[in-house]
Amino acid sequence: MIPEHFINRELSWLAFNERVLEEAERESLPLLERVKFLAISATNLDEFFMVRVGGLQIMKDRGLRTKDAAGYTPSQQLELIRERSDAFVRRQYALLHEKLLPALEKQNIHRLRVSDVNAAQHAHLEAHFIEQVFPLLSPVAVEEGTVHQLPALQIILLCLVSDTAADNGNSRHVMIALPPSLSRRVPVPPLGGAPAGYLNLEDLAQMFLSHYFPNEHVVQTARFRICRNSDIAVDDESALDLATEMEEILEARATSSTIRLEIEEGASKELAKVIQSLAAVTAAQTVFIPGELDLRSYFAIASLPGYDSLQVEPWPITMPAEITPGKSIFDIIREDDLLLNHPYDSFEPVLQLVEEAALDKDVVAIKQILYRTARSSRIIAALIKAAEAGKHVTVLVELKARFDEARNLERAEDLLRAGAQIIYGVRGLKSHAKICLVLRREAGRLSRYIHFGTGNYNESTAKLYTDISYLTCRPDYGADASSFFNTVTGRSRFVHFQKISMAPFGLRERLLDMIQSETERAKQGDAAEMMLKMNALEDPQMIEALYEASRAGVKVLLNIRGICCLRPGLKGVSDKIRVVSIIDRYLEHARIYWFRQGGQPQVFIASADFMTRNLSKRVELLTPVEDPLARQRLEQILRTMFNDNSQARLLNAEGIYVPAKVERGGTPFRSQQFFSKESAKRAKSRTPSPDVLIPHKPADETRR
């Protein structure tokens, strides 16, 4: 490995978040859509520090100097991250203060400061505070020598309280955390001639701190927020009870070391030192924020009702043309394989498969892997109904799905109570595969219906993420699906499948074989090409294989949403490789791998990216798509995305993303918008004629 050939993973991730922020800066977007992207960028940055920086900090503290593929030690990476993230935060707040807040003001969305509130509004806010806020906040005295449990990702007020109006040496420090159960934005009515607006909760609390300290004075205050290390792994190799072990991990995460401390600018040096001591951080881990803390709260502003003109016009989510109302999903899949391009194609057929299976008297078993689900999940409701009806329901619930562990524990308990057989993942690996298997008795034999996907069984994110679903009842796929579940739930010895490939046993090798096959064709003078769409490319072995393909003359087109450690455009190394990243209304999440294969293309969908964790440390699936029309549609999806010149950015050899340009005389082309229109056309092409009347039927309980 040559370090100059690789881009650092962490810096590549930060570059992805910079592309997200660019959408917030894009003046052609509606105002509240820009506000939404600002909030997304803030959420992303929090998660980055919790997940990635925590591990690097531990390595540094242990004195480890192991270099990454790009040649950086943990200490060097932390320094580069600090510089890049500090610049990013300054950019966020410049956008907020110089562009977004003034634009919101013009639309009568007023963020009020304490100084903006008149006497009538002050009286109203005080009454609101006493009734709705005062009982919920709990001042905590700061005592020397005591370890205080600071809640992560919450705004905390540190107060210097004294018996006089100045610090006379008898003062004390008190903390007040603002719980997430309280709305961050407090409405302020138009009283006394002043306009309506909103006040931030921390401003409201500071206005009326005197209620907590009668006969005392609040001399100074400072606002801060901490981010804790969430890179804590469960030791499931030795865990006797994984559910209990996960509960302990969640508790440990709540008290783990602080990775990042944010202090709002304006705090005195004395209070800043006290805060750093409380958080147990160094100056290098402290960031002084030039404005209000926690920009995630702007999600609430972005979704304000009554401002349709400031939001994007919704794109329709259409029912696929193959779906006929009132017709069994089993009959539809038996007629032909079904390929869905979400969210343009509705996720409803996938839900219908599980919900219909739960009620169908001929269905005897349902087997499924759940990684992340919706809060009020129709999938879970259907599986519970199936188990209660006496069907054999086996669900592998991945308890190690980061940040969804607590919810998955609850879901598993609900399923257990209903009589389902629950497997808590696979020892030593995360189960990230997306598969559902339904076994149904038909004409005296057992038929298998399978859903393979690139995304989670989550009807909420299915409206926001682009993913692929493939539904089939092909016998060889069904046999593979059964063998797969036997492997992951029954500790059966791994056997090679007929069609699918599974990580960590063979998926990497299957992909490498496909890349090598194209490489050999190029060496022999044949036309060779591959188009690969994924979320992240980090695995050194896969990158080296792509470099070898490029050297041989293979045309390599990569569509990578986020992390890309491959450096394209290097002469003699990667000059045949083009890397495109698309950031648009929907989060690009599908994994599609296409190989030319001498004019007889092979195409796959997968749950796995080209990352070491996916290929070697997780249970993943790679599924070949053999239906000719489905395969043709996947190729069209890929080529469409590589033609995007509106939302696409191109990665250059310096590791910088530059916007794709419209060629002279050309037309702007936006791939996501194209897919939305195409899906609507496909659905319309099969719309029943007006003389066909379709009755509305009562919804069953799983749909309520």
Whole-number Cα distances in Å, 700 to 378, 379, 384, 385, 673: 12, 14, 14, 11, 34
Among 5, 432, 451, 589, the one annotated catalytic: 432
Q: Please report, as a single letter, which amino acid is at residue 71.
A: G
Angle at 133 between CA 216 and CA 100, to 5 degrees: 105
Which stretches of 236-282 are DSSP H helices?
A: 242-254, 269-279
500/13 Cα distance (integer angstroms): 30
Residue 357, C-beta contacts closer than 8 angstroms, at least 6 positions apart: 363, 366, 382, 386, 391, 438, 440, 449
Which stretches of 311-468 are DSSP H helices?
A: 329-335, 348-359, 378-388, 405-418
- Beta-carbon count within 10 A of 138 CB: 10
For residue 686 the two structure tokens come to: 């099969």
**Helix count and strand count (H, E) for the chain:** 20, 27
For residue 535 the two structure tokens come to: 């979320």
258/279 Cα distance (integer angstroms): 6
Whole-number Cα distances in Å, 425 to 405, 433, 436, 623: 12, 11, 15, 21
Angle at 667 between CA 662 and CA 671, to 5 degrees: 85
DSSP 3-state of 405: helix
696/89 Cα distance (integer angstroms): 52
Please return the burial class of 532, using the count of CB atoms within 10 Å of its CB with bins 0-12, 13-18 and 19+.
buried
Q: Pick from 218, 192, 190, 196: which is nearest to 205 by CA?
A: 218
Which stretches of 72-173 are DSSP H helices?
A: 74-95, 101-106, 119-128
Residue whose pair of structure tokens reads 């109570």 in the numeric block:
417
Is 343:372 a contact under the CB 8 Å cutoff?
A: no
432 is catalytic: yes
DSSP 66: -
Backbone angles phi and psi of 593, in degrees to 5: -125, 115
For residue 199 the two structure tokens come to: 């006040």
For residue 166 the two structure tokens come to: 């100045």
257/150 Cα distance (integer angstroms): 11
46/32 Cα distance (integer angstroms): 21
Secondary structure of 486-539 in HEC code, one letter for each residue: HHHHHCCCCCCCCCCEEECEEHHHHHHHHHHHHHHHHHCCCCCEEEEEECCECC
Q: Pick from 236, 293, 230: which is nearest to 263 by CA?
A: 293
Q: Please report, as a single letter, which amino acid is at residue 623.
A: T
Which stretches of 154-263 are DSSP H helices?
A: 201-207, 242-254
Active-site annotation, residues? 432
